Structure 1
Amino acid sequence: MTPALVLIAGLLGLAVGSFLNLVVYRVPRGESVVSPPSHCPRCSRPVRGRHNVPVAGWLLLRGRCADCRLPISIRYPLVELATALLFAAVAWRFGASAALPAYLWFTGAGIALALIDLDVRRLPNAIVLPSYPVLVALLACAAAWEHDWWALGRAVIGAAALLGFYLLLVLAYPAGMGWGDVKLAGLTGFVLAYLSWPALLIGAFAAFVLGALTGIALIAGGRAERKSALPFGPFMVAGVLLAVFAAAPVADWYRLVLPN
């Protein structure tokens, strides 16, 4: 069943990625993601159905609007492909488990948040806050299905702990962290701790390591200075995804190398 599930998740990811492109463009502008339908920002002509097919539509148009020939960024098909690959990878990681929908939701929301943070240095409440009840409901259903209520309790503790930690960072050094990061920290702590305590530790730590390495690379390449601010949301999302795949192997290795 897993190969079929991975394929279905990948195809779903293509469709979700297409929608995420719309979300990333409209949400920061305060526009509806429902109406009007997808259209060219220059000539306002609606996108034809055949041109709205993920990846294939961009290739068919050769990266330009069908009417006014405005260039269409290559980021659109790349987001669709990346979402498809990540959805497929998450489906492979969880299989047909009850927790799969929750981690697919976080993956989609995380991609949108990371891109918006890169674009406008914000993590919109319109995405972060609704994700709380959605993920609580999905993981509560998963805990009930798997008869593992401790996993849900651990998730709540992890969310509170990571949110509290980020809150302390903001209060101690407001210039180094934003309130959007604090709100996102609760989500990341929730989905990480549901998996395990090692996942929480690895995912939280990985965000800071990835951020530091990226900052060093940008400074070394002359593209940033020591005091340059980097959006931290993408690193938080990347840390979660890294922990989803790496936490269990790392924990197993640790137990093997340092047995009790």
Structure 2
Amino acid sequence: MLEQGPLVLLAAVAGLLVGSFLNVVVHRVPRGESVVRPASRCPGCGHVVRRRDNVPVVSWLLLRGRCRDCGVTISVRYPLVELGTALLFGAVARLVGPSWVLPAYLYLAAITVALALIDVDVHRLPDAIVLPSYPVVVVLLVVASASTGHWGALLRAAVGGAALFLLYGALFVLKPGGMGLGDVKLAGVLGLLLGWWGWDSLVVGAFTAFLLGGVAGAGLLVLRRAGRGSRIPFGPYMLAGALGALFVASPVADWYLGLVGLIA
């Protein structure tokens, strides 16, 4: 397998390309449109985007953020999504390393970008992305376990997926309006990935989602950007909590256990 440096670089380049595709996903999936056809067009003049104008980040910079044909402004969000996905892919590759389980966590990074933006835009986590994620993640984790012999991690993933799904399902039933059904469906996917990584990641990821959501909600109330009855999309906090837990769960768990005196 590749060494760490080339692997991170390759993952970052792949992230640029995936990020370009995610821009299409974020725009079309909530509208129920195909992400394959038709080809991308300028919303101003309708011209098909040329291949040379579709190079991630670079094309936007060369065109100075405007359509080549009509001059309409192209949102800066497009290159930011591409660059952000590249950075996430590089960071995940550096964390996971050359491992059979890397594709599963790169997939997590990709759906984190897509679902977070869609949830912010339309307050919805589309089934078209969430539901297929179950077989995709299961297959990737089974391959990783079969290749490494980590069958215990696969069992842990199953328990984690069920646990988070049931936790969010209970919240959905007990507090109507406080949790969306899309959040419940997404919880199972995140539980699978967090469970495979470790029990500490599962706990920290679940807790961090509510912590981030609570802090953000309180901030919006203070700034009067939302009221007590406002619905705030929770998907971005679930995704950020899950992805962040991969990086910080182990040191956080060690800190907490040391704080309560369970480890020296």
- TM category (shorter chain) comes to over 0.9
| 1:1-260 correspondence to structure 2 within 5 Å | 1-257=3-259, 258-259=261-262
| Gap regions ≥5 residues in structure 2 | none
- Structure 2 letter corresponding to 1:149: W
- Give identity over the alignment, percent: 58
Q: Distance in 1 between matches of 2:69 and 2:218?
A: 44
Mapped partners of 1:75, 1:219: distance in 2: 26
Counterpart of 2:79 in 1: which secondary structure?
helix
Cα distance, 1:250 vs structure 2 = 1.8
Letter in 2 for 1:229: R
After superposition, the C-alpha distances for 1:161-202 in whole angstroms (9 at most, x for unaligned) are 110111111111121111100000000111001111111010
Task: Tell me the amino acid that sits aligned with residue 36 of structure 2.
Answer: V
Shift of 1:215: 1.0
Unpaired segments of 5 or more residues in structure 1?
A: none
Stretches (4+) displaced over 6 A: none
Deviations 1:110-132 (A, max 9, x none): 21011100001110111011111
* RMSD between aligned residues: 1.1
How far apart, CA to CA, are the structure 1 residues paired with 2:62 and 2:176? 47
